[in-house]
Structure 1
Amino acid sequence: MDPITLTSDRLRLRVFVPEDEDIVYAHCQDPAIRRWTTVPDPYPREAASFFLNRIVPDGWRDDTDYAFAVEPLDGGPLFASVGLHNRGSGVWEVGFWLAPEQRGRGYMTEVVRTAAHWAFTGLGCVRLVWRAETGNTASRAVAERVGFALEGVQRAGLLHNGTLRDAWVGSLLPSDFGLPSPVPYLPPREAPPSVDPRAAALPEDSGTVGPGA
């Protein structure tokens, strides 16, 4: 796919370029980004160069990973990243990081909502997955505000710096945004409460008691 630009009320999501190396390298020195995301730790300058010159263009060319740099709509340097990763069969996964000085302003919720809308309307996504290492409450708060349904814990779900870690998992469907799905979805009906046939056959006030009475 040819690179595109997305916009929200306050932000522009554009494709990373090699000239972003200095600022990407600087942001990824943040301890929280290195601790909770899958960027290398420590994060050398070579990692920023490899990301911008290989991972980003290869992902767009092969339609496997779409990475966006996030910057203010009215101008200013990039301060966040969001990526959509193809997991096959119409399933995509979202990942993101945010520079520390911009946290607490609702930016990441706005970014993820914008990327999710494009996934559903532009990529034919039928299910968008969010995962974060258990304990990453900031990422979980973003997912919940966007509308992801939390589905539980995926044991050994994330590999980070050679160690498998448990992950919270959530999903977002096109219907959560009021959008049609490319593939029909039929959720199961709730089963009626089960009834013990023996109990149903007993007359009212039968006087039955439990063992040892």
Structure 2
Amino acid sequence: MEPITLTTERLRLRAFVPEDEDLVYAHCQDPAVRRWTTVPDPYGREDAVFFLNRIVPDGWRDDTDYAFAVEPLEGGPLFGAVGLHNRGPGVWEVGFWLAPEARGRGHMTEVVRAVAHWAFTGLGCVRLVWRAEIGNTASRAVAERAGFAVEGVQRAGLLHNGTLRDAWVASLLPSDFGLPSPVPYLPPREAPPAVAPRDPRP
């Protein structure tokens, strides 16, 4: 897919370009970004160059990862990032980070809802997944405000700096946005009955 641009009431989501190196490098020095996301830590200039010149264009070309820079609609420097990552037929995962000066204004909720809508209407997504290491309450707050339903804990769900970590996992479906799903979905009308454990004795 060729890179596209999405807009919201306040923001522009565009593909990253090599000229974003200085800002990407600077924002990824933030302790919260390094602690809670999967960016390399420490984050060097070479990491920014690799991200902008390899990961971003390869993802768009191969339809595996769509990364967007987040900037003010009226103009100004980028202050965040959001990405959609292919997790199998019809399933995508959203990830994001935001610079400190842009936090607390509802920007990322606006961004996540925009990319979710695009995933459902443009990518044939039937299930959008969000995951974050347990303790990342800021990311969880964004997901919940965007409409995600938290499903539970995924043990050893995230690999970060060589260590597996437990993760919260949540999902968003087209029906949560009032949109039709490309594949019919029939949720159970009630919880299935509990199955009594089998007695191992003969």
TM-score bracket, shorter-length normalisation: over 0.9
**2:134 matches 1:134:** yes
**Letter matched to residue 179 of structure 2:** L
TM alignment of 1:164-175, pairs within 5 A = 164-175=164-175
2:4 aligned partner: 4
1:47 aligned partner: 47
TM alignment of 1:151-166, pairs within 5 A = 151-166=151-166
Question: Which digits, 9 at most, give the CA deviation of each residue in 1:63-115, with x for residues without a partner?
Answer: 00000000000000000000000001100000000000110000000000000
The separation in 2 between residues aligned to 1:114 and 1:184, in whole angstroms, is 23
How many residues were matched structurally? Answer: 194
Task: Return 5+ residue gaps in structure 1 as ranges.
Answer: 195-213
The separation in 2 between residues aligned to 1:10 and 1:190, in whole angstroms, is 41
Looking at CA atoms only, which structure, 1 or 2, has the larger radius of gyration?
1
**Letter matched to residue 22 of structure 2:** D
The separation in 2 between residues aligned to 1:193 and 1:57, in whole angstroms, is 48
Cα 1:9–1:88 shift into 2, 3 Å: same
Question: Which digits, 9 at most, give the CA deviation of each residue in 1:121-148, with x for residues without a partner?
Answer: 0000000000000000000000000000
The separation in 2 between residues aligned to 1:5 and 1:108, in whole angstroms, is 16
**Letter matched to residue 159 of structure 1:** L
**Letter matched to residue 66 of structure 1:** Y
Q: The residue matched to 1:88 in structure 2 has which SS?
A: coil
Q: CA deviation at 1:189?
A: 1.3
The separation in 2 between residues aligned to 1:161 and 1:177, in whole angstroms, is 35
The separation in 1 between residues aligned to 2:192 and 2:128, in whole angstroms, is 30
Cα 1:193–1:28 shift into 2, 3 Å: closer
1:115 aligned partner: 115
The separation in 2 between residues aligned to 1:137 and 1:70, in whole angstroms, is 21
TM-score, normalising length: structure 1: 0.90
**Letter matched to residue 135 of structure 2:** G
TM-score, normalising length: structure 2: 0.94
**Letter matched to residue 86 of structure 1:** N
TM alignment of 1:28-39, pairs within 5 A = 28-39=28-39
1:14 aligned partner: 14
Q: CA deviation at 1:191?
A: 5.1
Question: Which digits, 9 at most, give the CA deviation of each residue in 1:39-63, with x for residues without a partner?
Answer: 0000000000000000000000000
Cα 1:176–1:18 shift into 2, 3 Å: same
**Letter matched to residue 73 of structure 1:** L
The separation in 2 between residues aligned to 1:191 and 1:77, in whole angstroms, is 49
How many percent of aligned residue pairs carry the same amino acid?
A: 89
The separation in 2 between residues aligned to 1:151 and 1:29, in whole angstroms, is 31
**2:146 matches 1:149:** no
Q: CA deviation at 1:192?
A: 9.0
The separation in 2 between residues aligned to 1:191 and 1:65, in whole angstroms, is 35
The separation in 2 between residues aligned to 1:168 and 1:55, in whole angstroms, is 25
The separation in 1 between residues aligned to 2:86 and 2:191, in whole angstroms, is 34
RMSD: 1.2
Cα 1:162–1:111 shift into 2, 3 Å: same
Q: CA deviation at 1:170?
A: 0.1
The separation in 1 between residues aligned to 2:2 and 2:19, in whole angstroms, is 19
1:185 aligned partner: 185
